[in-house]
Amino acid sequence: MASNNFSLSIIVPMYNEGENVSVFYEKITQILVSHNYDYKIICINDGSKDDTMERLRQLANHDKRVKVINLSRNFGKEIAMSAGLNYSKADIVIPIDADLQDPPEVIPLLIEKWKEGYDVVYATRKKRDGETWLKKATAHTFYRVMGKVTRFEIPADTGDFRLMTKQVVDALNQLPEQHRFMKGLFSWVGFKQTSVTYYREPRYAGKSSFNYWKLWNFAIEGITSFSFAPLQIATYLGLLIAVLSLVYATYLVIATFTLGNPVPGYPSLMVAILFFGGVQLITLGVIGEYIGRIYNESKRRPLYLVKEELNIDEEPKSAKLKIIN
């Protein structure tokens, strides 16, 4: 492929990134212009409550290569990213966050690797600056757990920052599920993939919207979207308890015949009741997670609704999306 004979779309989901919009735009356009790329920047305002949309509107008026999709409310980063992929028509697509934790300087490295013949080039973090040891530890554990419970490889220490060809994006746009764990979907579609490594920077400004509760729910989303392991664990736990109960029942029968039949104590009875009750509730909760996802998928609602479009020339690829004009 001839040098730079391709089109590029940068996908940028944004939620309350008003402090980062201008700096992000300046830094990424500097990189893109200096390499003479034919590019568009597709920004998705995911129901921000600050001045993110106002700043994006100013950029869109200033630079027609900035495309803005203003969603009707906050749908979440995974859905916002899916919206950007739906609108992309370029030969290659790169999702990136607006907080500059993923440095735009890595983009030329991704493109050079793509020119070697890869369909997906994902960026793997060597180091995560600006994050607590607890967040680093939980992220490390999460990726290792996902690697064990899924039937395909999800790269460890790798976020959404990656390059994908049009063929890969078209494949992703065919996936209709409501519960979208994009890191898993990126791997599930397959194609020829490789990685480049980089050092992740601290946020330029603002505060991440991901707290530990959201991260916990994100982990549950990822595991339940691509694995039946929780259901299998519940089954194995039930079998284990049944076996232990049988062993204990055998012991009671033998003890009754040999030592008589003493009345069991109240504390041990309560412990047994609470233990088995807790196991049953946990099992029901795991089953409920999967049933809830079936319920959501059965509604067949559109992934998102668009309130406003700026500099958008064509309709999105998916015909299932409802657009508010």
What one-character-per-residue DSSP string does 157-178 give? TEEEEEEEEHHHHHHHHT---S
Q: With H, G, I as helix, E, B as strand and everything else as coil, classify residue 95.
A: strand
Same domain assignment for residues 106 and 95: yes
Is 129 contained in some domain? Answer: yes
114 and 188 together in one domain: yes
Residue 223 shares a structural domain with residue 234: no
**Domain tally for the chain?**
2
Is the residue at 134 inside a domain? yes
Residue 289 domain-assigned (yes or no)? yes
What pTM did the predictor assign? 0.67
Assess whether 198 and 83 both reside in one domain.
yes
Domain containing residue 201: CATH number: 3.90.550.10
11: which 2 tokens? 């996908």
- 187 inside domain: yes
Q: Tell me whether residue 54 is in a domain.
A: yes
Two structure tokens written together for 89: 């028509």
Q: Are residues 154 and 204 in the same domain?
A: yes
Same domain, 134 and 280: no
Which range of residues forms the domain containing residue 139? 7-227+301-323
Q: Which residues pair with 92 in a beta bridge?
A: 8, 165
Shared domain for 14 and 48, answered yes or no, is yes
What is the secondary structure of 65-88 as a DSSP string?
TEEEEEESS---HHHHHHHHHHH-
Domain membership flag for residue 1: no
Residue-wise pLDDT tens for the chain (325 aa)?
435 788 899 999 998 888 888 888 988 998 898 888 988 999 999 888 888 888 999 888 888 899 999 998 888 888 888 888 988 888 999 999 888 888 888 889 889 888 888 888 888 877 655 556 666 666 666 666 666 666 667 676 677 888 989 988 888 888 877 777 777 788 778 788 888 888 776 655 555 555 555 665 656 666 666 666 666 676 777 777 767 766 766 766 676 667 665 655 655 665 667 677 767 777 777 777 777 777 777 777 788 888 888 888 776 765 445 555 5
- Cα distances from 121 to residues 117, 155, 178, in angstroms, run 10, 11, 25
* Residue 159 belongs to a domain: yes
Query: Is the same domain home to 170 and 263?
Result: no
233: which 2 tokens? 């664990």
What pLDDT sits at residue 44? Answer: 92
- Considering the domain architecture, whether residues 280 and 198 belong to the same structural domain is answered as no
Report CA torsion sign: 261, 263, 265, 270.
positive
In the 8-state DSSP scheme, what is residue 299? H
How much is the pLDDT for 277?
72
Q: Is residue 41 domain-shared with residue 116, that is, in the same domain? A: yes
Do residues 31 and 149 both lie within one domain?
A: yes
The answer to whether position 76 is within a domain reads yes
State the SS3 of 108-119.
HHHHHHHCCCCC
- 322-323 vs 158-165, strand pairing mode: unpaired
Same domain for 189 and 132: yes
